[in-house]
Structure 1
Amino acid sequence: MDAIKAFFKDQAQHLRKEVWEVARQIGEHPELGYKEFFASEVLSRFLQQHGFEVKRGIAGVETAFLARFSGTRPGPRVAYLAEYDALPEVGHGCGHNLIGAASAGAAVVLSKSLELSGEILVIGCPAEETSGAKVTLVEQGIFKNVDAAIMFHPGSQNVPVISSLALDALEFTFHGRAAHAVAASSFGINALDAVINFFVGINALKKQISPDMKINGIITEGGSVPNIIPERTVARFYLRARKRKDLDELRGKVIRCAEGAASMVSAKMTWQKFEFSYDEMHTNQSLAECFTKNLRELGVNQISPPQTAMGSVDMGNVSWTVPAIHPYLTLGAGNEIPHTRDFAQAALSSDGENLVMLAMQVLAFTGSDVLSDKKLLQQIKREFRLDR
């Protein structure tokens, strides 16, 4: 380990208790997406205390923030992404308290360099568990001129390279005509029949699509009482595919199914997106290799091959805007299942503290490499351009 990274490791040790206190406080005060006022305040205050300039409520998102620390000379811009929203009833069953603390901690560690070139950013990203704010932050230009976006996620394995599924969240409304279900049934147009036809069509479609495409739906409105022909029904669906272009094609097929189902009973159909669309996560290989090298330098040698997460993350949208990584690091022995109370408890245990310490160091090391190694940065950018 060279002298610079040894210095950063020493700084991380000095910050250990302070950063863990940030993670602990957020973990013990879970807040749902877009309501993370306590977590946003804790992270912002910690960064301000260490010399970062913090702007809150960015991109019109009240609990988002942007923290900056400029070096002594111009140079690249590295962004650490902080997540800090919790799950309903479960709390921090995805370990976002660890993500936010580690990203902020890594940024502070890196800021202690006396010869820092460039700029360190920490971008507070609310609501990853629901309608991810990273989509809004991308659209509002928050990632403009960022050279690399870096974060980590707690998991059951050490996986530097991941991909995820692209996601569309669609709501279909079927419009019929109400009538007495017995005395005047011939005057009604049954919107419930339309939505049932829709599900029948979807089940047939599932047999014709690739196994890595997913269609999952529920009926959220199915009528009011049995003796009134339903004039309005609503269904919500998540559609997923490995690639955005494949998902766009799938979306067209699903919409045509809905149109056909409505026409069978002379109903009308409208649709809309009820949550943000996510693109698939595209890991920058050069940046991931740098992260892996630093992980090994910190003594971590159990590293898993690339994996596709069978879910969707708003970091995917970031990864198509700037070079990005979203690696997973093992929480404890890797036995806890995410989105459970057990995982939330593990994230508040000594295992959580140890993981924050590891993540803070490897993120700081990787950010340092991006800021100081011109050849590495050129390689990262070249790869990003060629993969568009």
Structure 2
Amino acid sequence: MDLKAAAQAHFTTIQSQMIALSHRIHAHPELGFEEEHASTWLAETLSDHGFSVTKGICDLPTAFMAQAGSGPLHLALCAEYDSLPGIGHACGHNIIAAMALGAGIATAALADDLGLSVHVIGTPVEEMGGGGKILLLERGAFAGMHAAMMVHPSPTDNITPVTLANTYFEVRYTGKEAHAASFPERGVNAADAMTVAQVAIGLLRQHIRSTDRIHGIVTKGGDAPNVIPAHTAAKYAVRAQTIEELDDIRAKVRRCFEAGALATGASLDITGESKPYAQLRHDPAMAAAYHRNATALGRDLPPLSAPPHPGGSTDMGNVSQALPSIHPMIGIDSLPASNHQPEFAAHCITEAADRAIRDGALAMAWTAIDLATDASLRTSLLG
């Protein structure tokens, strides 16, 4: 039996359903930890196709685990479905979810022939440092898995994208109110503290690595222009090429915020630091298999040896540090629009995006078949 042809034939019967599901999630964007509709729709679809589904795994209400097949080789397909505040599915997680389900259902039809156990894991809250996969990893959702994969939409295809380690945190300064005109000397200006910190960060940028990133927003700048601000707040993120380098840049940025407190006399509170996202580590054999399969489906791919372009950050990096994984990017012909722009969100329900659902799902399904049938790959994963 031609297993890949069989997987493609099975996917053809569900393709329209996967596209409709992608569009439905896109039309109802939900933030991390709030993806009640998306997780329910995905879980119900998998259940309808014969998967055994457990919702609310690892004490995460919008996470789920779906399994089909009982073979010794366990494969995890990760589905993301959270959106961004204000701009909806501008990172295309609706497409990710549809591809994961399509790949899972197409592969599950052959699981017994392949000696596979296929797991589709619903992984909530990837955006804004939520770290859903990190929580799932720590709480055992990936225990016993031999490999993991997911595919992410992007303007263009990239098999082994570079992602950065990152962490998010909140900053609060507390000063003292005073009349800004009559008694300014009686105030301690928390807004000035934030300004000093931001200037220090700006000066720091000339002394950081080219792969380091620092960005943030001020969420509270004061209450009235004629009152010395006693309370200011910001949310910041720092990124670096590796977890180890992240520790270094994080310490430097923290000193910039400490400088603001020292200069003004305001007190500083840094809280809410997220669990650090690790850099992606792509399994070379899995990446090569995906490259072959995506090429066979007609994707115009750069060679695996092409110089990588730095990307964002993902909690899939933590999964990839724990077990063999891949996280290719699949193009949806969106340029000049790119991820995290409203224009990109609009591209995530176009014909190119729908085609990416087909190609991404089948490329993962065919890669799963390669992992199961190639003796050296299978032995390596099981070993």
**What TM-score results when the alignment is normalised by the length of structure 2?**
0.90
Which residue of the partner structure matches residue 176 of structure 2?
A: 177
* Secondary structure of 2:148's aligned partner: strand
Does 2:100 align with 1:100? no
Structure 1 residue 291, shift from structure 2 partner: 0.8
What is the one-letter code of the residue matched to 1:18?
Q
Query: Which stretch has the larger CA shift, 268-277 or 312-321?
Result: 268-277
Which residue of the partner structure matches residue 192 of structure 2?
A: 193
Gaps of 5+ in 2: none
Which residue of the partner structure matches residue 367 of structure 1?
A: 368
| C-alpha distance in structure 2 between counterparts of 1:351 and 1:218, whole Å | 33
Structure 1 residue 97, shift from structure 2 partner: 1.6
Query: Which stretch has the larger CA shift, 26-35 or 246-255?
Result: 26-35
Which residue of the partner structure matches residue 328 of structure 1?
A: 329
Does 2:59 align with 1:60? yes
| C-alpha distance in structure 2 between counterparts of 1:95 and 1:299, whole Å | 21
Query: Which stretch has the larger CA shift, 326-335 or 308-317?
Result: 326-335
| C-alpha distance in structure 2 between counterparts of 1:339 and 1:191, whole Å | 31
Checking the alignment, whether the CA contact within 8 Å between 1:189 and 1:229 is kept in structure 2 is: yes
* Secondary structure of 2:198's aligned partner: helix
Does 2:353 align with 1:352? yes
- Structure 1 residues 64, 359: closer, same or farther in 2, change over 3 A? same
Which residue of the partner structure matches residue 31 of structure 2?
A: 32
- Structure 1 residues 353, 272: closer, same or farther in 2, change over 3 A? same
Which residue of the partner structure matches residue 202 of structure 2?
A: 203
Checking the alignment, whether the CA contact within 8 Å between 1:75 and 1:371 is kept in structure 2 is: no
What is the one-letter code of the residue matched to 1:339?
H
Checking the alignment, whether the CA contact within 8 Å between 2:334 and 2:347 is kept in structure 1 is: no
* Secondary structure of 2:72's aligned partner: strand
Checking the alignment, whether the CA contact within 8 Å between 2:161 and 2:311 is kept in structure 1 is: no
Structure 1 residue 222, shift from structure 2 partner: 2.4
What is the CA deviation profile of residues 322-373 of structure 1, one whole-angstrom value per residue up to 9, with x for unaligned ones?
2211101122476653334543343323323222111111111111222333
Structure 1 residue 276, shift from structure 2 partner: 4.2
| C-alpha distance in structure 2 between counterparts of 1:217 and 1:32, whole Å | 19
- Structure 1 residues 88, 215: closer, same or farther in 2, change over 3 A? closer
RMSD: 2.4
- Structure 1 residues 273, 377: closer, same or farther in 2, change over 3 A? farther
What is the CA deviation profile of residues 141-182 of structure 1, one whole-angstrom value per residue up to 9, with x for unaligned ones?
211221111111122222111121111212222222333444
* Secondary structure of 2:289's aligned partner: helix
Structure 1 residue 134, shift from structure 2 partner: 1.7
1:121 counterpart (119, 122, 128): 119
| C-alpha distance in structure 1 between counterparts of 2:118 and 2:34, whole Å | 26
**What TM-score results when the alignment is normalised by the length of structure 1?**
0.89
Which residue of the partner structure matches residue 385 of structure 1?
A: none
Q: How does 1:215-294 map to 2 (within 5 A)?
A: 215-294=214-293
What is the one-letter code of the residue matched to 1:347?
C
Checking the alignment, whether the CA contact within 8 Å between 1:77 and 1:147 is kept in structure 2 is: yes
* Secondary structure of 1:163's aligned partner: coil
- Structure 1 residues 194, 17: closer, same or farther in 2, change over 3 A? closer
Checking the alignment, whether the CA contact within 8 Å between 1:162 and 1:306 is kept in structure 2 is: no
Does 2:310 align with 1:316? no
* Secondary structure of 1:26's aligned partner: helix
Which residue of the partner structure matches residue 308 of structure 2?
A: 307
Structure 1 residue 84, shift from structure 2 partner: 1.7
Equivalenced residue count is 379
- Structure 1 residues 352, 205: closer, same or farther in 2, change over 3 A? closer
| C-alpha distance in structure 2 between counterparts of 1:22 and 1:351, whole Å | 16
* Secondary structure of 1:164's aligned partner: coil
What is the CA deviation profile of residues 222-263 of structure 1, one whole-angstrom value per residue up to 9, with x for unaligned ones?
222334333322232211111111110111111122223312
* Secondary structure of 1:234's aligned partner: strand
- Structure 1 residues 193, 343: closer, same or farther in 2, change over 3 A? closer
| C-alpha distance in structure 1 between counterparts of 2:197 and 2:86, whole Å | 32
- Structure 1 residues 31, 333: closer, same or farther in 2, change over 3 A? closer
What is the one-letter code of the residue matched to 2:122?
G
Structure 1 residue 96, shift from structure 2 partner: 1.8
Query: Which stretch has the larger CA shift, 41-50 or 251-260?
Result: 251-260
Query: Which stretch has the larger CA shift, 268-277 or 134-143?
Result: 268-277
Which residue of the partner structure matches residue 80 of structure 2?
A: 83
| C-alpha distance in structure 2 between counterparts of 1:317 and 1:154, whole Å | 19
* Secondary structure of 1:18's aligned partner: helix
Structure 1 residue 107, shift from structure 2 partner: 0.9
* Secondary structure of 2:207's aligned partner: coil
Query: Which stretch has the larger CA shift, 88-97 or 263-272?
Result: 88-97
> What is the aligned-residue identity percentage?
33
| C-alpha distance in structure 2 between counterparts of 1:299 and 1:238, whole Å | 38
Query: Which stretch has the larger CA shift, 28-37 or 352-361?
Result: 28-37
* Secondary structure of 1:207's aligned partner: helix
